[in-house]
Amino acid sequence: MLILGLNAYHGDSAACLVSNGEVVAAAEEERFRRIKHWAGFPELAIRYCLREAKVTMADLDVVAINSDPRANFLKKSAYALLDRPDPRLIINRLQNQSKRKSIEDEIARGFAEPFRGRVLRVEHHLAHIASAFLVSPFEEACVASIDGFGDFSSAAWGVGRADAITVEGRVFFPYSLGVFYQALTQFIGFPHYGDEYKVMGLAPYGTPAYLPQMRNIVKLKNDGGFELDTRYFRHHREKIDYAWDGGSPHVGTLYAPAMQELLGPARQKDEPLEQRHRDLARSIQAMYEEAFFHLLGALHDRHKLDSLTLAGGCAMNSVANGKVMRQSPFKRLYVQSAAGDAGGAIGAAIYAWHECAPQAAPSAGAVPARVLAGDASVKRPVMEHAYLGPSADATEIAALLDGRRKQIEEGGCLVKQIDDEAHLCGVTAEAISRGDVVGWFQGRMEWGPRALGNRSIVGDPRRADMKDILNLKIKRRESFRPFAPSVLKEHVAEWFEENGDVPFMMQVYQIREKKRGQIPAVTHVDGSGRLQTVYRETNPRYWLLIEKFRELSGVPMVLNTSFNENEPVVCLPEEALDCFLRTKMDMLVLGNHLVQRKR
């Protein structure tokens, strides 16, 4: 059975393909359109998935989408009747629902081959929960989805056992932790869609001085849920400017004038950052964590399970995720690499697989040898890596470099081919150890927003000036944002206070105090690092690169940041080469080829 999963008409539009219960391809549309968080119908991502699986639309059994306009209909109707929001808001919501109903028309317009299967619409938060639990290494777990809004709710929680998910609680419109965080992100001067990670990076520079005011905004409920004081928001009554169709997503101002009465004047994006803004960032994060752990505590009290899976846009809050084992009773955590809305494509497809083919077993060999800590009884495929995107073979790379040889030489660069993998990794590790910034393009592109060793820029974590070097040569991003370490799994416990499985860079852990001075480039101001645990089994070449660096330096990690320059992460080898040539990167490792600037 072949199932195409979609996140469409929303930020981070994406597609994935599931074959007999196994995810064989997945990618976000932004990587092909070259527009961050691209929103709309993910036609190019669909074409990639079909091409990767060597099938056509005519071969598909099901197209599953992570939204069901019929979900929570009574709640929607009651809200419209009792709260009487701006009629333009209702019209806008109806228009959005109409788009989501037109998947069949989009397929017919965009693809020559007829689609003869069925379309399955999966409620937004059920798709989120499925995207984590149904690919996790856990036989049973508490499950939670927390985000902005989807199908009129902002959070859902319950329990997963075997292949079944039971949703026991929800938070409905207009209350949302995602909207709380996004509105306050706008308030302190970060206006773009997806800027919430900047608040996480800024928060350690402040104190939670505004936490009492935050508690006026967010109210915790006895069942683990929460409410917002809607006086401070606009989204529930007015039509907010949203742009979700065919380009970069845009969300208008979410906070109301009352927010400035409570917290003081909002920062405009070009105004300097003051200590007040740092304190606000810390207070926003503290309030989110208070509500987050309140929910997790109630969930654990109800089920007494050791394992937890998280999904939804708020599950991208790696700082809170990293505290789960320290500040809640849970002992194991799984967060999928695309926890946000893109991940709903996998959730919808995997949920459809279990709904439509309950009698079928996963394809032979679909369950690899375990590297994630989980339950030995789990029979379904486990998502242990995120390498599900396009790749380039040696012939393509050689042809690219040959065709661009003149441009490469005029750029003052040399090309060298090294087919011995150990030698290739050794040469690269030596370059990193002497302070070079290296573009590393290997294998299949990562699924999700994080570069995980196939579309990465890597550097020496020991250099105190490496952050400044990267920002000068390539990134040009805010000085308060940290860079992340990729760490050999075998050595995590030596360097970090926690020793969990973090293959997708979704948790921030505390670096051991005695080690922080050795790796200043990846140690944040609060002594933390957003680590990625690297396994020999799932990415042997990246593991070998780090091992070669360890042999040279004694440090079993490299600094890892995404291979891009204020654009989506590179997808194709020509994009990697373009990025290398227009920046001041020192070396590009493109498959088995080195492109190196002359010294």
* DSSP codes, 49-82: HHHHHT--GGG-SEEEES--TTTTHHHHHHHHHH
- Token couple for 180: 């709380």
Same fold, 2-124+339-356 and 394-597: no
Q: Yes or no: say if 336 and 115 are a contact pair by the CB < 8 Å rule.
A: no
Measured between alpha carbons, how far is residue 45 from residues 15, 208, 488 in Å? 6, 42, 31
d(CA 144, CA 157): 4
- 555-561-563-567 Cα dihedral, nearest 10 degrees: -170
How would you list the strands of the sheet with 557-562, edge to edge? 413-417, 593-597, 587-590, 438-441, 455-459, 557-562, 484-488, 528-534, 507-510
Total H helices, total E strands in the chain: 21, 23
Q: For the CA atoms of 487, 489, 491, 494, what is the dihedral angle to 10 degrees?
A: 90
Which of 348, 344, 351 has its CA nearest to residue 313? Answer: 344
Domain 394-597 CATH assignment equals 3.90.870.20: yes
Q: Which two tokens stand for residue 92?
A: 């806008």
Query: Which residues have C-beta within 8 Å of that of residue 251, sequence separation ≥ 6?
Result: 182, 193, 240, 241, 242
Residue-level pLDDT, tens digit, the chain, 599 residues: 999 999 999 999 999 999 999 999 999 999 999 999 999 999 999 999 999 999 999 999 999 999 999 998 788 777 777 666 666 655 555 555 555 557 889 999 999 999 999 999 999 999 999 999 999 999 999 999 999 999 999 999 999 999 999 999 999 999 999 999 999 999 999 999 999 999 999 999 999 999 999 999 999 999 999 999 999 999 988 878 777 777 889 899 999 999 999 999 999 988 999 999 999 999 999 999 999 999 999 999 999 999 999 999 999 999 999 999 999 999 999 999 999 999 999 999 999 999 987 554 444 334 444 589 888 889 899 999 999 999 999 999 999 999 999 999 999 999 999 999 999 999 999 999 999 999 999 999 999 999 999 999 999 999 999 999 998 888 788 889 999 999 999 999 999 999 999 999 999 999 999 999 999 999 999 999 999 999 999 999 999 999 999 999 999 999 999 999 989 999 999 999 999 999 999 999 999 999 999 87
Distance separating alpha carbons of residues 128 and 167, to the nearest angstrom? 12
Q: What is the DSSP string of 546-596?
A: HHHHHHHHS--EEEEEES-SSSSPP-SHHHHHHHHHHS--SEEEETTEEEE
Residue 522: name the closest of 557, 566, 494, 479 by CA: 557
Distances from the Cα of 567 to the Cα of 27, 33, 34, 470, 481, angstroms: 16, 10, 7, 16, 17
Q: How far apart are CA 217 and CA 223, in angstroms?
A: 18
| Contact (CB, 8 A) for 251 and 193 | yes
Report the alpha-carbon angle 265-269-274, nearest 5: 60
Alpha helix (H) residue ranges in 203-312: 211-217, 257-263, 275-303
pLDDT at site 84 = 61
CA–chain centroid gap for 123, Å, is: 20
* 474 closest CA partner among 447, 451, 445: 451
Domain ranges of the chain: 2-124+339-356, 394-597
What residue type is 173 in one-letter code?
F
453 φ/ψ sector (left φ>0, alpha ψ -120 to 50, else beta)? left
Residue partners of 398: CB distance under 8 A and separation at least 6: 417, 593
Structure tokens at 389: 């995107």
Query: Packing angle between helix 43-53 and helix 103-110, nearest 10 degrees?
Result: 70
Q: Is the dihedral of CA 36, 266, 198, 586 positive or negative?
A: positive
What is the DSSP code (8-state) at residue 272?
Answer: P
Q: Which two tokens stand for residue 192?
A: 């773009």
Please report the pLDDT score of residue 87 as a whole number.
64
Peptide bond into 381 cis (omega under 30): no
Which CA distances in Å does 532 have to 32, 153, 422, 556? 25, 31, 22, 12
Tokens coding 597: 């600037």
Which DSSP helix (H) or strand (E) runs through 308? strand 307-311
Supply the pTM of this predicted model: 0.94
Whether the CB-CB separation of 39 and 244 falls below 8 Å is answered with yes
| Integer Cα distance of 583 and 453 in angstroms | 20
Q: What letter represents residue 237's amino acid? A: R
Query: CB neighbours of 358 closer than 8 A, spacing ≥ 6?
Result: 163
Q: Phi and psi for 200 in degrees, rounded to 5?
A: -60, -40
Cα separation of 166 and 157, whole Å?
8
Report the CATH superfamily, name and number, of domain 2-124+339-356. ATPase, nucleotide binding domain (3.30.420.40)
Dist. CA 12–CA 37, nearest whole Å: 4
Q: What's the confidence (pLDDT) of residue 73?
A: 78
Enter the tokens of residue 474: 């390539």
The Cα 94–Cα 87 span in angstroms is 11
Positive or negative: CA dihedral 87, 93, 99, 100 = negative
